């Protein structure tokens, strides 16, 4: 008998409690008919905690003072798959359009929202460093946030598999990474580059934690988990964090069509706040 079948099934009541909790607290949309998905992704936690039901497990997540069980739940119900230079058009647009528009400003702030394990903000940092003189790199200040404390720890540590690192442009491995660990088949970003990104935990459903405004925000492949009203709320929040003329990049599978927002369409997956 499989592990899933050996576990108690999730009742309709338990499913609704979980669905409402995920939506109200984190904006995640769990549609009807996803009961088997819930069992497949959460059964290991039910077993590991010796819980007699999903109801008991959910109650434990809600009351766990460490937040670790909540991190497990969020990680299990979302996808942390990412890669270096994913959807490269956004990086080309940032280098070729956004930075030139800003001219000789003393500083440029960029926000990588839902940064996962760090491939996106490091890709942005490396791209800027590769395109400019090293003395100008400190002027591009990158803030990276995610709801998961676990992926943020990984992002700060910045140890990546060689499979991921090999996909980087020629010369980047030597310039930005320490010598690879041949036994572990991994490579770590050099400390001097890790220190240039500010990582912090942030839930997109909450009030903005920043006083500053950003010239560009990357919030890609996360709104696919939200329903339309939540997407509108998140986009309004992101818009409020943009400086006039700032740009918002979303995933290429995402669109702001049909949402309540004031951003101007620039091109697929790129929007701009009015000057």
Checking DSSP bridges between strand 186-188 and strand 197-201, what pairing results, if any?
A: unpaired
CB 69 within 8 Å of CB 45: yes
pTM for the full predicted model: 0.88
Using 50 as the pLDDT threshold, list the residues of the chain that sit under it: 1-5, 134-137
Same domain, 141 and 240: yes
pLDDT at 251: 96
Q: List the domain range (segments joined by +) for residue 113.
A: 89-272
pLDDT at 1: 41
Q: Convert the pLDDT of each residue in 48-79 to its tens digit.
A: 999 999 999 999 999 987 777 888 898 888 76
Same domain, 109 and 167: yes
**Residue 180 belongs to domain with CATH number:** 3.40.50.150
* Residues that are catalytic: 41, 146
pLDDT at 167: 87
pLDDT at 105: 78
pLDDT at 71: 80
Same domain, 123 and 248: yes
CA–CA separation, 16 and 10 (whole Å): 10
**Residue 15 belongs to domain with CATH number:** 1.10.155
Give the CA distances from residue 260 to residues 152, 190, 203, 224, 249, in Å, rounded to whole numbers and listed in that order.
31, 42, 20, 16, 17
User: For residue 82, is it within any domain?
Assistant: no
Structure tokens at 8: 């108690």
């Amino acid at each position: 008998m499989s592990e899933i079948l050996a576990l108690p099934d999730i009742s309709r009541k338990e499913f609704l409690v979980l669905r409402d909790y995920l939506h109200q607290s984190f904006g995640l949309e769990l549609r009807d008919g996803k009961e088997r998905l819930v069992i497949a992704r959460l059964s290991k936690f039910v077993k590991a905690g010796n819980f007699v039901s999903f109801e008991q497990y959910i109650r434990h997540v809600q009351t766990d003072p460490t937040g670790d069980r909540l991190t497990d739940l969020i990680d299990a119900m979302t996808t942390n798959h990412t890669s270096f230079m994913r959807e490269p058009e956004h990086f080309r647009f940032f280098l070729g359009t956004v930075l030139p528009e800003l001219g000789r400003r003393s500083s440029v702030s960029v926000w990588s929202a839902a940064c996962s394990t760090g491939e996106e903000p490091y890709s942005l940092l490396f791209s800027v460093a590769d395109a400019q003189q090293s003395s100008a790199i400190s002027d591009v200040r990158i803030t990276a946030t995610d709801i998961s404390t676990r992926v943020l720890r990984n992002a700060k540590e910045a140890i990546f598999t060689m499979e991921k690192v090999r996909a980087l442009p020629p010369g980047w491995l030597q310039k930005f990474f320490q010598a690879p660990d041949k036994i572990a088949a991994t490579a770590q970003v050099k400390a001097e580059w890790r220190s240039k990104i500010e990582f912090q935990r942030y839930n997109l459903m909450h009030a903005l934690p920043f006083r500053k405004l950003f010239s560009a925000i990357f919030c890609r492949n996360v709104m696919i988990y939200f329903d339309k009203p939540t997407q509108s709320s998140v986009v309004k929040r992101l818009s409020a964090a943009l400086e006039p003329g700032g740009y918002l990049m979303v995933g290429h599978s995402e669109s702001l069509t049909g949402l309540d927002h004031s951003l101007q369409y620039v091109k697929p997956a790129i929007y701009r706040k009015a000057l």
